[in-house]
Amino acid sequence: MLQEQTRVVEAAVAHLKRNPISPLDLGWVNSVRVNRSAVERRTATLGGRRTVKKEWQAAWLLRAISCMDLTTLSGDDTVGTVQRLCAKARHPLRSDLVEALGIAPLNLTVGAVCVYHTFVSTAVEALHGTAIPVAAVSTGFPAGLSPFELRLREIEASVADGAREIDIVISRHMVLEGDWDGLYAEVKAFREACGAAHLKTILATGELGTLRNVAQASLVCMLAGADFIKTSTGKETVNATLPFSLVMVRQIRDYCDQTGYKVGFKPAGGIKTAKQSLDWLALMKEELGDEWLRPELFRYGASSLLGDIERQLEHYITGQYSASFRHPMS
């Protein structure tokens, strides 16, 4: 049953075309409007509108693991820290839980490992022989205020070291000033510097002032060729929230309707519990459909989330909650 539940979305898309760089349409950008009260009302009821229990909940939690960008972005990161994180990415659940759930044939892994540029080559080596991509945060993360040419060189260096995904931060002042031409040119240059590596644009939604700014910035980034739009760096005071996420995923939906191209979504920062992960999965399913329940189009930026999901899965198996130290990251 669990294997069937986790495979239910796999046949949804046979081929995913990459979002191209499109001309900036300021008429479209300036026409964007957001009804804040409607957004808040919709997200306030989300958790109660769709709940999953028993084996279906376990299957959704396994799906959450497969869509996770397992992340370490601390000042005290070391080679050993990153190697242990990669080992966890290869085998996100304890072997006894895998056996009890009967999911060994799934070969479950996380969606990616996300690190600073310094540790890209370490992560690539540690993940050799797997399909798990390495994502590098770039362009002066988390503030994005280093010189433009240095930000471009940082992207190129990470790609050269083997990063297959690049998480860039936009210049927030361009959004606050309504400089859509400048933001478009910046993201377009970052996309071109990525080459074949996929580009995730971090909006830092908690610093953009209004929901309309979030919506407009999302659209501009997609027009500039972003493969994913991402809520936050995880370093802001306010990170991923359901209202910010709803605004962004509806821009993704409108963009797909207008252009035919599917762009991914990544909430990051503050998603720490299994229950929260289910809320975001429900949001994706209801707003965008089953196609966005796959790592190709949906990721969580997470560091501590995996431990709580493991605890919930052990509770599903045994009926009891275990201590968190039984589910270490290393």
User: Which parts of the chain are beta strand (E)?
Assistant: 68-71, 112-115, 134-138, 165-169, 198-202, 228-230, 264-266, 300-302
pLDDT at 258: 97
Q: What is the CA radius of gyration of the chain?
A: 19
Average pLDDT, stretch 294-313? 94
Q: What is the spatial distance between Cα 230 and Cα 213, in angstroms, rounded to a whole number?
A: 14
Average pLDDT, stretch 292-312? 94
Residue 231: exposure state from Cβ atoms within 10 A (0-12, 13-18, ≥19) = buried
Percent of the chain with pLDDT over 70: 94
Compare 15 and 18 and report the one with higher pLDDT.
Answer: 18
Q: Tell me how far the alpha carbon of residue 84 is from its chain's centroid.
A: 21
Q: Which helix (H) or strand (E) holds 266?
A: strand 264-266
Q: Which of 3.20.20.70, 3.40.190.10, 3.40.50.300, 3.40.720.10 would CATH assign to domain 2-8+24-320?
A: 3.20.20.70
pLDDT at 296: 97
pLDDT at 329: 62
What confidence category does residue 15 fall into, taking pLDDT thresholds of 50, 70 and 90?
A: low
Q: Which positions are annotated as active-site residues? A: 167, 230, 266
Domain boundaries, the chain: 2-8+24-320
pLDDT at 320: 85
- pLDDT surpasses 70 at 7: no
What confidence category does residue 266 fall into, taking pLDDT thresholds of 50, 70 and 90?
A: very high
Phi, psi of 292 (to 5 degrees): -90, 20
Taking only the tens place, the pLDDT of each residue in 136-151 is 999 999 999 999 999 9
Per-chain mean pLDDT for the chain: 93
- pLDDT surpasses 90 at 46: no
pLDDT at 260: 97
